[in-house]
Amino acid sequence: MEFSFSGEVWYWRGPAPFFFVSVPEAECDDIHLIANDVTYGWGMIPCDVTIGDTTRYTALWPKDGGYIVPLKKGVRDAEQIDLGDVVEVSLSVRGP
């Protein structure tokens, strides 16, 4: 399952600080349909995420009934992404 969307980069201090982009509601609804088949636990959804020329394997995190994309430092540095930027995200959910 593949998706493309744009979203604003936001920061969560949480127990471990991270930058994220929220997956839009319509895409979350589609992911919910396959979540039980692809999750490896705790609702995490494995996927490949591409922003600009950078692709990384990661997992979508469940949050407030939807999903969020963690943006690791390597991706942010490679694509010169900062807090508040709007980025184009392509993701490919990995199956079992």
> Which fold would CATH assign to domain 2-93?
Elongation Factor Tu (Ef-tu); domain 3 (2.40.30)
End-to-end CA distance of the chain: 12
C-beta separation of 38 from 92 below 8 A: no
The tokens describing 39, both together, are: 């999750």
Q: Indicate if the pLDDT at residue 96 is higher than 70.
A: no
The residue among 23, 16, 20, 2 whose CA lies nearest residue 76 is: 20
Q: What is the pLDDT of residues 10-37, one digit of tens each?
A: 998 876 669 999 999 999 999 999 999 9
pLDDT at residue 54, rounded to an integer: 97
Q: Indicate if the pLDDT at residue 93 is higher than 80.
A: yes
Section 73-84 average pLDDT: 95
- Rg, the chain, Cα only: 12
Three-class secondary structure of residue 64 per DSSP: coil
Delimit the domains of the chain by residue range: 2-93
Q: What is the pLDDT of residues 44-73, one digit of tens each?
A: 999 999 999 999 999 999 999 999 999 999
